[in-house]
Amino acid sequence: MKHTDQAPNGRNPVRTSPTAVGIVPKPNHITDGEGEFHLNAATVFIATGDAHAEASYLADYLSHAAGFPLPVHETEDASDSIVEMRIDPSDTRRGSEGYRLTVTPRRTEIVAATPAGLFHGGQTLLQLLPPTVYGASPIEPQDWTVPCVEIDDSPRFAWRGAMLDVTRHFLSVEFVKKFIDLLALHKMNVLHLHLNDDQGWRIEIKKYPKLTTIGAYRPETLVGRAMQDPSDRDFDPCQQEFDGVPHGGFYTQDEMRAIVEYARVRHVQIVPEIEMPGHAQAAVAAYPELGVSDHTEGVTCIATDVSQVWGIHPTLFNASEETFAFLQDVLTEVMEIFPSRDIHVGGDEAVKTQWRESPSIQARMRELGLEDEHALQSYFIGRMDTFLTQHGRRLIGWDEILEGGLAQNAAVMSWRGEAGGVAAAEKGHDVVMADHKHTYFDYYQSEDRSSEPLAFSNTLTLATVYHYEPIPEALAPEFAHHILGAQAQLWTEYMPDSKQVEYMALPRLAALAEVTWTDAAHKDFTDFGERLSVHFRRLDALHVNYRPTHFDERK
């Protein structure tokens, strides 16, 4: 006989014990209590002031799965099931994003110093409920239990992020929003959007319409491997196999604003990236005058169009006043859309051949007293640093911006290892760690190539992500506070659609969430593996195409 444990009212209460709930990322302090709280149609949320928006968000979220509305009141209520969310600005012990969540039989309380803290506390409450709360349509039962517990929690790092490359393959507005939800679920708070590259320009710029009418489209795409080195004359991109399928897309400024607002509600900051001086080919395809026209070398087949192949390209922005003016115009429109303090200007993999071979650039360098092309890149980035600083923003770039001298106010994203991060931090600059050996989610997830879809050549297992320590050992401890945190990189050369992005992102993003949120002393990979079994049910409810990592890989 089935359903023998059914309650008299016909509903089927779902019980979760604190040991069975797999909260990801793991809270820093958790004390089991006695009994349970019931969340049902009688539940009332209580919140005032800035807490009201946070409570409304959570109540709305829950009511989708519950199928009944959950009211948010401003004053105390006689209900036996209260969820109170309260901001206490004087309670600063847990920093700007921490929270305390106390679940007792008749009352659940979330207290934080800031709205962001309340939001994170709300995410923990969702994870204390059955995974079905993440489903979009009403389900039975509608009487959920939450185990009594006291959680005192705050993040280890302020920057807990992911970079999404929407250039190599364009991703829809709808998917970007889903991805923001996934970040929020993992208490991650930065989405770095890579908005232009050789293969596409993806953001509308009103002053330069051809960036998207021309720069956002390519007629077909290379099948298979990328060129690794533009000076490799044996790699002839013209001789590769192409798929014959047109690809493209871009976000209008209104769509971008809607994404920024969607992220704001979920306490996710969007950091836009406009790449320079390399990875510039889509822009130069749209406006050839932005490029270097008097160089002698180049891979002719890909030199003028939006690129259809992967790999490092020779095309650079010119280092002329006209090009600087263009880039500043673009950044001006970008700043109007994105409130983020940090504005990313790329700076990576700018092979200097075109600059070296251009008589006009060489003349300019002599005029400016710059001894080599690295010094010119440093001058170039320095100009952008001054411009962004004047507008109250901060320039951030990949660690190549250290070469030739780091711009005065810049922050650095250390991707080629730890050395760039260490050097920048020791000079007093803030750093986000993005070491490819631990954070490149375009790498294979296992050594077994036969069972994995085509990916970038290296391997990055769940364990290797989990064991990442963002503070480099080589960094003198007095500079450790310059390490803001870490982020995952989703380069999309081999991710043709959003399903593949999800597959590459999860569960590795869950591991990185724990790296950036949970104190190192509280981390435990075996325990994480066990919590993942529960977490996968949440991802199922959210229709996420995660990689179903086998238990023995999770130990």
Between 159 and 491, whose beta carbon lies closer to ligand TNX?
491
Q: How far is the CB of 183 from ligand TNX (least distance, A)?
A: 20
Between 181 and 418, whose beta carbon lies closer to ligand TNX?
418
Question: In the window 118-147, what residues touch ligand TNX (CB under 6 A)?
Answer: none
Burial class (CB in 10 A: 0-12, 13-18, 19+), 186: buried
Kindly state whether residue 201 participates in binding ligand TNX, applying the rule CB under 6 A: no
Q: How far is the CB of 276 from ligand TNX (least distance, A)?
A: 12
Q: Is 390 helix (H, G, I), strand (E, B) or coil?
A: helix
Catalytic residue among 247, 279, 295, 344: 279
> Cβ atoms within 10 A of the Cβ of 421, count?
31
Rounded CA gap, 38 and 145, in Å?
5
DSSP code string of 73-125: ESS----S-EEEEEE-TT--TTTTT-EEEEEETTEEEEEESSHHHHHHHHHHH
Q: How far is the CB of 440 from ligand TNX (least distance, A)?
A: 5
Between 57 and 444, whose beta carbon lies closer to ligand TNX?
444
Kindly state whether residue 170 participates in binding ligand TNX, applying the rule CB under 6 A: no
Choice from 57, 159, 250, 398 touching ligand TNX (CB under 6 A): 398
Q: Is 201 helix (H, G, I), strand (E, B) or coil?
A: strand
Between 201 and 440, whose beta carbon lies closer to ligand TNX?
440
Q: How far is the CB of 158 from ligand TNX (least distance, A)?
A: 22
Q: Would you call 349 a catalytic residue per the annotation?
A: yes
Question: Residues 83, 108: contact at Cβ < 8 Å?
Answer: yes
Kindly state whether residue 415 participates in binding ligand TNX, applying the rule CB under 6 A: yes
Q: How far is the CB of 439 from ligand TNX (least distance, A)?
A: 10
Rounded CA gap, 309 and 257, in Å?
31
Distances (CA, A) of 146 to 29, 51, 63, 184, 432: 17, 21, 16, 21, 36
Q: Would you call 197 a catalytic residue per the annotation?
A: yes
Kindly state whether residue 546 participates in binding ligand TNX, applying the rule CB under 6 A: no
Kindly state whether residue 442 participates in binding ligand TNX, applying the rule CB under 6 A: yes
Q: Is 255 helix (H, G, I), strand (E, B) or coil?
A: helix
Q: How far is the CB of 492 from ligand TNX (least distance, A)?
A: 8
Between 37 and 456, whose beta carbon lies closer to ligand TNX?
456
Choice from 326, 456, 528, 536 touching ligand TNX (CB under 6 A): 456
Q: Would you call 279 a catalytic residue per the annotation?
A: yes
Two tokens at 253? 């400024």
Sheet strands (E) in 202-335: 217-218, 247-248, 269-276
Between 37 and 170, whose beta carbon lies closer to ligand TNX?
170
Which amino acid is residue 94, in one-letter code?
A: R
Distances (CA, A) of 443 to 106, 329, 436: 48, 35, 9
Choice from 250, 317, 466, 491 touching ligand TNX (CB under 6 A): 491
Q: How far is the CB of 205 from ligand TNX (least distance, A)?
A: 21
First-to-last CA distance in the chain? 37
Q: How far is the CB of 432 from ligand TNX (least distance, A)?
A: 12
Between 145 and 487, whose beta carbon lies closer to ligand TNX?
487
Between 133 and 413, whose beta carbon lies closer to ligand TNX?
413
Task: Tell me the site size for ligand TNX, rule CB under 6 A.
Answer: 9
Q: Is 236 helix (H, G, I), strand (E, B) or coil?
A: coil
Question: Residues 71, 42: contact at Cβ < 8 Å?
Answer: no
Between 333 and 399, whose beta carbon lies closer to ligand TNX?
399
Distances (CA, A) of 276 to 265, 327, 347, 380: 31, 9, 5, 9
Q: How far is the CB of 415 from ligand TNX (least distance, A)?
A: 5
Distances (CA, A) of 168 to 112, 258, 348, 398, 411: 40, 22, 16, 18, 25
Alpha carbon of residue 216 to chain centroid: 22
Between 127 and 489, whose beta carbon lies closer to ligand TNX?
489
Question: In the window 493-512, what residues touch ligand TNX (CB under 6 A)?
Answer: 493
Catalytic residue among 36, 97, 153, 197: 197
Q: How far is the CB of 273 from ligand TNX (least distance, A)?
A: 9
Choice from 77, 150, 329, 349 touching ligand TNX (CB under 6 A): 349
Pairing of strands 411-414, 483-490: unpaired
Q: Is 275 helix (H, G, I), strand (E, B) or coil?
A: strand
Kindly state whether residue 348 participates in binding ligand TNX, applying the rule CB under 6 A: yes
Kindly state whether residue 403 participates in binding ligand TNX, applying the rule CB under 6 A: no
> Which residue in 100, 130, 125, 123 sits closest to 112, CA to CA?
100
Burial class (CB in 10 A: 0-12, 13-18, 19+), 7: exposed
Choice from 387, 440, 468, 528 touching ligand TNX (CB under 6 A): 440
Catalytic residue among 255, 305, 348, 349: 349
Q: Which residues are known to be catalytic?
A: 197, 279, 349
Which residues would be at the binding site for ligand TNX (CB under 6 A)?
348-349, 398, 415, 440, 442, 456, 491, 493
